[in-house]
Amino acid sequence: MGDDAVEEAEIYEGIRAEFPLTFGKQPKSQTPLEVIHNATRRQSAATPAATGSLGANYPGKADVGRGSGDDDGDFVGPPPPPPAAMSGDEESDGGDGMIGPPRPSGGSAAEEEDSDDGDGWGAEGGGGYRIPMSNEIMLKGHSKVVSALAIDHSGSRVLSGSYDYTVRMYDFQGMNSRLASFRELEPFEGHQVRNLSWSPTSDRFLCVTGSAQAKIYDRDGLSLGEFMKGDMYIRDLKNTKGHITGLTWGEWHPKAKETILTSSEDGSLRIWDVNDFKSQKQVIKPKLARPGRVAVTTCTWDREGKCIAGGIGDGSMQIWNLKPGWGSRPDIYVEKAHSEDITGLKFSSDGNVLLSRSFDGSLKVWDLRQMKKPLKAFEELPNNYAQTNVAFSPDEQLIMTGTSVEKGSTVGGLLCFFDLVKLELVAKIGISPTSSVVRCYWNAKLNQIFATSGDKSQGGTHVLYDPTISERGALVCVARAPRKKSVDDFELQPVIHNPHALPLFRDQPSRKRQREKILKDPLKAHKPELPMTGPGHGGRVGTSSGSLLTQYLLKQGGMLKETWMEEDPREAILKYADAASKDPKFIAPAYAQTQPEPVFAKSDDEEEDK
């Protein structure tokens, strides 16, 4: 029996060795995804559109994704699909079953669902919009407004730059629900970060700051080099090897991974080769109404990289086509595109539409085939930041831009959506009640909207998503719980004793350092006063032989009397003889018993009188 038991134990151990150590253990209970995403659900939703046919019964963000009969209690899980019997008119009148802005009237909800191609952001033929905005997370870390934003083409890494001079790098694949950045950079000390741009292969990115030199970093945040600064004493900008004043914008070429475009306050645009940091490939000087230097506030490539658009500080907009033998003369010149500086430009993918955003609070849509006047100008969009941009949705049916907070206004920073075909306002989404919205971007692969905001005390990047139509990105990091701390994570901070830092072991400073320290002391380094070389009164006077002007005026007025110049020195001393004999204080009492009575010589004048 004993031998059989040993054989069974050996067989069991042999079989058990073929399975992993975790085999047979009970899995830990995990939090359902519905509960996780319910914690990030937005509390309030888009504000009613100022124009259009949306009506006053625009659903709030708290109602987005909630069923029509679920008026009380919190909704758990993804929103149910809209009922097939509900018409488009009923939806626009306050139906709560739709995600995002309400669909325009003209078709049933069932038709909208059937016509939806599954991309998640549009429906062909139905005219509906699926904006992922039911949930929201915020990437924090900056202490001032976030002025730059860049998401790589795969949607895994996010770059954010701020007025606090730093760049933060976020990785959705390695980030948990704490939403912390894995690296922080400071490209140039004391210079604001104005733009960030990934290369076409997402292996490097461009950093544009308020300095005259742009920097290139690799994907992990290691510096690869910086472009050269030009000679500020050369008047002709084409003869300098780089920008001479602060940069305003910069973008990587959409196709060529070695080409970069930058604009500057010195009034020029420059095309660079990443392999040569010492000189640019091309210098573009914009056309000006009068001679001088006017800053180029923004610039951009078209989708194919064959066209460049630039916004000039005088409000003009200029476009250059890259062709053999091209120069600085623009192919398209719009003299008064805006009344103030242009802050953002964006080409459509077909190259027929150009969007422009300006300080004058407007967003204009231009047809490149007819540039005499814009197709549409959307007004009353406050803009206080030079980095406020304008962007397209992935299918380019919608246009979006952010607004700034004005003094005395109760409306916070908004993210506004416009229909490109109908050229009308679709929705306004409240992002921050106190902060301005500066940069915005709609990532196609993630189907998530990024919007940066901030003020003088804080800044962050808001990520809007919908669990039903968005992919990866925010969904992955929100569902990934932070690792619990274990005993191994505890690290004792050692106490370092440095005996040479104590005064007892400290070496005496050299004589040179002692002299330097004495010279810095105002008492020890005080120059001794020179001896008097002329008359004075009540102490020291100037070194001049004459009297001061104040003393002369006092003498003339009889307020200052100097009798010592007219008095006999002997009489001046003897007038204290009676007081010294009656009340001796120091010398006389000590020699009173040993010294004879003093006998003073009489004046010769007195003897002659007798």
Q: What is the pLDDT of residue 320?
A: 93
For residues 86 and 196, membership in a common domain is answered with no
For residues 121 and 147, membership in a common domain is answered with no
For residues 248 and 339, membership in a common domain is answered with yes
Q: What is the pLDDT of residue 311?
A: 94
Q: Look up the domain containing 76 and give its range.
A: 31-41+53-130
Per-residue pLDDT for 116 more than 50? Answer: no
The values of phi and psi at residue 590, to 5°, are: -70, -30
Per-residue pLDDT for 537 more than 60? Answer: no
Kindly indicate the confidence band of residue 262, based on its pLDDT and cuts at 50, 70 and 90: very high
Kindly indicate the confidence band of residue 234, based on its pLDDT and cuts at 50, 70 and 90: confident
The predicted-structure confidence for 13-71, as pLDDT tens digits, reads as follows: 777 677 776 666 666 666 777 788 888 888 754 444 443 333 333 333 333 333 333 33
Among 78, 110, 130, give the residue marking a domain's end.
130
The predicted-structure confidence for 551-599, as pLDDT tens digits, reads as follows: 666 666 666 666 666 778 888 888 888 887 788 777 777 777 787 776 7
Distance in angstroms (rounded) separating the CA atoms of residues 351 and 61: 35
The predicted-structure confidence for 298-353, as pLDDT tens digits, reads as follows: 999 999 999 999 999 999 999 999 888 787 789 999 988 999 999 999 999 998 99
68 class by beta-carbon count within 10 Å (0-12 exposed, 13-18 middle, 19+ buried): middle
Task: Provide the phi-psi class of 77: left if phi over 0, else alpha when psi is between -120 and 50, else beta.
Answer: left
Per-residue pLDDT for 125 more than 50? Answer: no
Distance in angstroms (rounded) separating the CA atoms of residues 426 and 491: 54
Per-residue pLDDT for 453 more than 60? Answer: yes
Among 74, 101, 130, give the residue marking a domain's end.
130
Distance in angstroms (rounded) separating the CA atoms of residues 351 and 369: 10
Number of domains in the chain: 2
* Range of lowest pLDDT (193-197, 446-450, 594-598): 594-598
Assign residue 378 the CATH number of its domain. 2.130.10.10
Q: Is the dihedral of CA 470, 471, 477, 480 positive or negative?
A: positive
H or E element at residue 574: helix 569-574
Q: Which DSSP category does 534 fall into?
A: S
Q: What is the pLDDT of residue 588?
A: 73
Residue 375 lies in a domain: yes
Q: What is the pLDDT of residue 408?
A: 80
Residue 19 lies in a domain: no
Q: For the sheet containing 424-432, what is the strand order?
A: 390-392, 398-402, 413-419, 424-432
Residue 595 lies in a domain: no
Residue 550 lies in a domain: no
Q: What is the pLDDT of residue 555?
A: 66
For residues 175 and 198, membership in a common domain is answered with yes
